[in-house]
Amino acid sequence: MLVLVLNAGSSTLKYSVRRFDQERTLAGGEPIAKGVVERIDEGEVADHREAFEIVRGELAQALPGCVPDAVGHRVVHGGERFTGPALVDEEVIGAIERLNALAPLHNPPGALCIRAATAAWPGVPQVAVFDTSFHRTLPEHAWRYALPDELYRSHGIRRYGFHGTSVQYVGRRAAQVLGISWEEFNAVIAHLGNGSSVTAVRGGRSVDTSMGFTPLEGLVMGTRSGDVDPGALVFLQRLGYGPDELDDLLNRDSGFKAMAGNNDMRAITRAAAAGNPEAELALETAVHRLARYIGGYHVSCSGARAVVLTGGIGENSADFRARLLVRLGPLGIRLDEAANRQAAGRQGPRVISTADSAIPVLVIPTDEEHAIAEATIGAVGPR
């Protein structure tokens, strides 16, 4: 059984094909085909529908005559309705599209890809796998905002959390590495990329997370501001900023892009090393906020047995990791500088803290496509 996974980002479309055996177990560790379409809506690729057609063409070359048995789609925001993977029909697509305003960089391209794949393969089951599902275990005191109850009851304004598929995948891997059962695993897990978040996991369940009603809250990100005093936004409205301008400001023109003039961590770290003060300030601001969240979530998870770093920055930026672990010294965390440098570019889980570190720090490569493929198989059921 072949499962195609489509992971639609704001300007990218990643894909991979996984083979499952008759026992519905993933056959082999690597996908049999994979790729990515980049610079969507920035260059020659107009939108995610066009990107999907490029993917179809690449699959036809890599796997001639192949039609997937199921397609799994990463969908960022599932609201309160979707507590797990969902078989797609027209009503489900409509429900996803009604959440577009809550994840404007990701839900619209995800919905476009679902519609394109459904049209291309009308008889193939499509499954939506939601980033928010893992966080449905948040206790009410963690997901509530201190706002009038009517805003939650009528409009669903609450903390949802994101990156759940990645967090659960790397958390389970970290627990295996440390020889701890998932049901007993307490950890702080940071998914660090162009979008970034931190999650407190207690007993294998999400109990606190930095992203909120939308993927905008929390850490400094590539183009997103993270935490901002809402009073500043009211002030900007009074100056004449409209909702669309504020949306663009906070989601597309803030974060590292605003502070350092670039949202590429490699370019930022090179600039900081060369003495660029804006790049240095951006890195220190991001590390400060991340360390603050990790310290707080150490409490939220009743004492972390591990800190886990993943995502493009977490896996690949030794400089950013080193800055972070220095800040985490008060938790008894100690950086193994040699292990940290060796970790760059290596595959598989690795520990970058010293043997006497009070809390081990692990770098675990995420594989959201792997997790989405398994969730898709589970949702499709026997065929």
The catalytic residue among 47, 69, 131, 248 is 131
Containing structural domain, residue 228: 179-363
Asked if the structure places residue 136 within a domain, the reply is: no
Question: What local confidence, expressed as pLDDT, does residue 28 receive?
Answer: 58
Residues 196 and 305 occupy one common structural domain: yes
pTM (predicted TM-score)? 0.91
Report the distance separating Cα 287 and Cα 280, nearest Å. 11
CA quadruple 216, 219, 225, 227: dihedral, nearest 10: 80
From first to last of the 383 residues of the chain, give the pLDDT tens digit: 899 999 998 889 999 999 987 656 666 567 999 999 998 988 789 999 999 999 999 999 999 988 999 999 999 999 999 999 999 999 999 999 999 988 888 899 999 999 999 999 999 999 999 999 999 999 999 999 999 999 999 999 999 999 999 999 999 999 999 999 999 999 999 999 999 999 999 999 999 999 999 999 999 999 999 999 999 999 999 999 999 999 999 999 999 999 999 999 999 999 999 999 999 999 999 999 999 999 999 999 999 999 999 999 999 999 999 999 999 999 999 999 999 998 766 678 999 999 999 999 999 999 999 999 999 999 997 65
* Burial tier of 381 (Cβ tally within 10 Å: 0-12, 13-18, 19+): exposed
Question: What local confidence, expressed as pLDDT, does residue 333 receive?
Answer: 98
CA separation, residue 319 to residues 230, 256, 361 (Å):
32, 16, 15
| 41 part of the active site | no
**How many domains does the chain contain in total?**
2
Question: What local confidence, expressed as pLDDT, does residue 23 receive?
Answer: 59
* Burial tier of 191 (Cβ tally within 10 Å: 0-12, 13-18, 19+): buried
Backbone angles phi, psi at 89, to 5 degrees: -135, -175
Residues 334 and 264 occupy one common structural domain: yes
Beta-bridged to residue 206, according to DSSP, are 201
Where is the domain boundary, 110, 130, 150? Answer: 130
Residues 207 and 345 occupy one common structural domain: yes
Residues 210 and 116 occupy one common structural domain: no
Asked if the structure places residue 139 within a domain, the reply is: no
Instruction: Read off the CATH number of the domain in which 93 is found.
Output: 3.30.420.40
Report the distance separating Cα 379 and Cα 69, nearest Å. 13
Beta-bridged to residue 129, according to DSSP, are 74
